[in-house]
């Protein structure tokens, strides 16, 4: 029994089964068998956590990032099981919704990916190297959002009633998500030539912040991700060059 709970492939099978059951239940395909399977899967996850605590020890268990994810999800989703035994609590949708968090257990499959540590290391390096530009980009968005809220707060309150709304609207524009809806909503409430001025203004923001700004972020991040690999390739080329030089010298003699 202990081997079952420590077997990653077996536990992954239970996770996949439980996710499939939750998917069917969320599609309102419900029956007693699905509920029973969901309860059994929940008990298996609890027993898995208990067995791993016994096998690894409390501190060792919670030092492992994957165990932290598994254990946290298991604990947070337990209250949803009460709904099967106390029907009156079913009205508290937010409690039952916690059950859907079990899909995060699928992330445990990531530990089987080759070179995951190197990928994570490269991601952190890229994030660190592009952090200054990302911060500057966010500051620009905040400044523009505050300016737009002052200008258009009364004209298009659905987008610029507060600076927070303005920040969200700018993210929409800069990610080219409904970029034309925002200037149209503002221009619709303005007279004459101001309609065209506002559209030109928002098109300028889109080009500067959306097309150019987002392209710069992507290029900086990708370049930082590739930098670590480039360093490895350069080091290997240097070693190869040294060997070629040594071979050339030996041939000259």
144 and 244 part of one domain:
yes
87 and 123 part of one domain:
no
177 and 101 part of one domain:
no
Structural domain containing residue 11: 2-112
Q: 153 is written with which tokens?
A: 């707060």
Rounded Cα distance between 123 and 76, Å, is 29
Question: What pLDDT, in 10s, does the model give residues 13-27?
Answer: 888 898 888 888 778
What are the distances in angstroms from CA 110 to CA 40, 42, 77, 95?
Answer: 25, 22, 21, 28
Last residue of a domain, one of 112, 146, 165: 112
90 and 120 part of one domain:
no
Say if residue 89's pLDDT is above 60: no
Domain count, the chain: 2
132 and 210 part of one domain:
yes
7 and 97 part of one domain:
yes
99 and 55 part of one domain:
yes
pLDDT tier at 227, thresholds 50, 70, 90:
low
Whole-number percent of the chain with pLDDT over 70: 83
Window from 31-40, 54-63, 74-83 with minimum mean pLDDT: 74-83
Last residue of a domain, one of 86, 112, 138: 112
Last residue of a domain, one of 112, 143, 173: 112
35 and 136 part of one domain:
no
Q: 51 is written with which tokens?
A: 């067995």
Return mean pLDDT, the chain. 81
Give pLDDT, residue 232: 59
């Amino acid at each position: 029994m202990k081997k079952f709970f420590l077997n990653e492939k077996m536990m992954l099978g239970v996770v996949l089964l439980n996710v499939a059951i939750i998917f069917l239940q969320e599609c309102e395909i419900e029956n007693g068998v699905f509920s029973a399977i969901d309860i059994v899967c929940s008990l298996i996850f609890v027993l898995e956590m208990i067995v791993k605590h016994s096998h690894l020890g409390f501190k060792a268990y919670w030092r492992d990032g994957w165990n932290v994810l598994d254990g946290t999800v298991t604990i947070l989703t337990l209250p949803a099981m009460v709904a099967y035994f106390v029907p009156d609590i079913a009205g508290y949708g937010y409690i039952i919704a916690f059950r859907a968090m079990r899909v995060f257990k699928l992330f445990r499959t990531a530990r089987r990916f080759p070179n995951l540590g190197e990928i994570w290391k490269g991601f952190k390096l890229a994030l660190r190297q592009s952090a200054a530009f990302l911060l500057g980009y966010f500051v620009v968005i905040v400044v523009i959002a505050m300016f737009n809220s002052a200008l258009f707060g009364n004209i298009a309150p659905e987008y610029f009633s507060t600076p927070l709304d303005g920040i969200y609207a700018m993210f929409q524009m800069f990610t080219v998500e409904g970029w034309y809806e925002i200037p149209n909503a503002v221009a619709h409430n303005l007279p004459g030539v101001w309609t065209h001025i506002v559209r030109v203004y928002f098109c300028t923001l889109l080009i500067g912040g959306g097309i150019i700004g987002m392209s710069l972020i992507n290029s900086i991040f990708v370049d930082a991700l590739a930098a670590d690999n480039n360093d490895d390739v350069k080091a290997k080329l240097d070693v190869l060059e040294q060997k070629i030089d040594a071979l050339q010298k030996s041939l000259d003699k």
